[in-house]
Amino acid sequence: MPRSSAPPAPHLAPPVGALLRRYADAGEPLSCQPVAQGLLNRGYRLATTRGAYFLKQHVDARTADRDTIVRQHRATQRLHGLGLPVAPPLPDSAGRTVAVIGGHCYALHPWIDGRHRDGAQLTRAGCRRLGTLLGHVHTCLDRVMGAPPPNPGHESARPEDTFRLIDELLRLVRARRPRDGFDELAEHRLRERRVLLAAHAHRRPPAAAATGWVHGDFHPFNLLYRGAEPAAIVDWDRLGVRPRAEEAVRAAAIFFVRPAGELALDKVRVYARAYRRAAGADGAELAAAVDRVWWERLNDFWTLRWRYQLHDRRADPQFPAVSALAVWWTREYEAVRDAFTG
């Protein structure tokens, strides 16, 4: 899930004129409308006399430097060459894909007509197609990125750190005046999670043993469909080296979570079987990933940190299902692991 270290930056209109002058065939601007804003960067539908484009403004401090963006662009260009549904950036007249204007980085992409689909909108065939797609992403990244650097460890969360965070968040929640329904639910979930974590602290997983190149943020809002077929995987800002099977589990926990915080395990099973086949991953790799992602969810409070520490409420709608999932997953742990590995 998204993380942030700062509140959203103030909105500034993109310098469309200065940007388009760098492109010989992009045409003259007609309109530039914000699309549904992501939690980290900004996007616009840019219409010109030559067609429609997606204009991306990179603002997330951790990934908005030019060198990082260029590496992402090269990866998507190579993945496109292998046949994956991606939307590589368009090069300007000098062959550059990143424009630095006014201290901000911009990139121009083709506009992809499509819609987002969550797991509830996917048939069994769609679940199979999704698992196969992510498996191909991982195997193709291995080809275009080369051998990953040495395993940095990827240690799992320490319970003592989480207990301190829970105490801090409870202090902030209880200090809220006036309190609302969200605050009441937040306090309930924090107290509940403290009890759960105390009961399961001895199950802290070891550091991940296997890593590979991953998309880093594979979820429904970063995948566009045209009909039943995936049309484009977007937002490669978190491209990096991490445990690849964990991305498969983490993605399923987003695609297939129900509003009450349960996973649609019948669909997870179809998706996971297709992923294992496409990625060449075995049951043991998925079992270890399930353990680590479950532990991550048990120790993670990113939505509450955004609200109470960063005073940013954009993630509030995700909190009810995300917080309920950690409780349900703990109770149904064996069934969840079997769905990913069976």
- pLDDT at res. 80: 98
**pLDDT tens digits, residue range 92-143?**
999 999 999 998 999 999 999 999 999 999 999 999 999 999 999 999 999 9
> Rg of the chain's alpha carbons, rounded to an integer?
21
Sequential DSSP letters for 68-90: HHHHHHHHHHHHHHTT--B-PPP
Sequential DSSP letters for 228-241: TEEEEE---TT-EE
- pLDDT at res. 36: 67
- pLDDT at res. 4: 39
Longest CA–CA span in the chain (Å) reads 63
Output phi, psi for 285, to 5 deg: -65, -40
pLDDT at 8 over 60: no
CA pair distance 66, 61, nearest whole angstrom: 11
pLDDT at 24 over 80: yes
CA pair distance 186, 179, nearest whole angstrom: 11
Who's near 296: CB < 8 A, 6+ residues apart?
Answer: 156, 157, 250
Mean predicted lDDT score pLDDT of the chain: 93
- pLDDT at res. 2: 39
Question: Confidence band (pLDDT; 50, 70, 90) for 158?
Answer: very high
Tokens of 75: 């990866």
**pLDDT tens digits, residue range 169-226?**
999 999 999 999 999 999 999 999 999 999 999 999 998 877 899 999 999 999 999 9
The one-letter amino acid at 62: R
Q: Give the distance, in angstroms, between the CA of residue 342 and the centroid of all CA atoms in the same chain.
A: 26
| CA terminus-to-terminus distance, the chain | 26
pLDDT at 1 over 50: no
Sheet (strand 51-58) strand order: 29-34, 42-48, 51-58, 104-110, 99-101
The answer to whether residues 59 and 5 touch, using CB atoms and an 8 Å cutoff, is no
Taking the C-alpha atoms of 331, 336, 341 and 342 in order, what is their torsion angle to the nearest 10 degrees? 100
- pLDDT at res. 39: 63
The answer to whether residues 255 and 281 touch, using CB atoms and an 8 Å cutoff, is no
CA pair distance 220, 9, nearest whole angstrom: 24
